[in-house]
Amino acid sequence: MNGILFEKMRFTCQQSGHCCCDPNIIVTLTYRDLLRLFTTLYCDFRLLLQKISFYTLDSTTSPILEKQMVLETILTSDGKVIPGLKKHSKKICVFYSRPSCSIYSSRPLACRNYPLAFVKEKELIMSTWVKNSPKTCPGIGKGSPLSQKNIEQRGKRFFKEIEKHNQVVRELNVEASNNRPLTAREALWTLIIYGESEYQQRQK
């Protein structure tokens, strides 16, 4: 297990923007991320589509790589897709506006936790650094050690959102297998509607 003891992890964001400009980082999106972005973008679906990419997996994708994906792929008539943030031609996140993120308060789950990655074995949550981040992120090693409680809480929130997202995607995929699969855009809209109805339920 590539876990690191919580007490040894130090991180304070230096606002370097390295993670937002790293061509090797893809920010994938849960349905709650999609709803947060949709709301931030004035509930304008066309505007949202300008900011989203559909990362597709096909027969050339290694099964090992597919297995490592935290988010399950969505079966659509456009292929097996995972929604993620678009990048500019220079491979910079579409929301990065020097010197910082232009949607900071609604940034996706992956950005909230970077450079922390979580691993779950049975009920034990462990934490490590996102691959390559110790080489590129100047915030690692800075500040006081992160507390075990803080990391555990973040890890729990992370897995709760991921597992719920994957459950919704699995239901969509069963539908897609039994009926006409949705297009990637229709699947995106369905996830937003799901997120919105869940939000409304929570408000009651």
Residues forming the site for ligand SF4 (CB under 6 A): 20, 27, 85, 93, 95-96, 101, 103, 107-108, 111
Smaller CB separation from ligand SF4, 111 or 172? 111
CB of 147 to ligand SF4, least distance (A): 23
CB of 19 to ligand SF4, least distance (A): 6
Cα–Cα distances (Å) from 176 to 32, 136, 180, in that order, read 21, 40, 6
Contact, 119 vs 2, CB < 8 A? Answer: yes
CB of 182 to ligand SF4, least distance (A): 25
Cα–Cα distances (Å) from 142 to 11, 118, 139, 147, 149, in that order, read 5, 20, 5, 14, 19
Contact, 67 vs 61, CB < 8 A? Answer: no
Smaller CB separation from ligand SF4, 80 or 87? 87
CB of 190 to ligand SF4, least distance (A): 23
Smaller CB separation from ligand SF4, 33 or 72? 33
Smaller CB separation from ligand SF4, 27 or 188? 27
What do you get for the CA distance between the two ends of the chain, in Å? 42
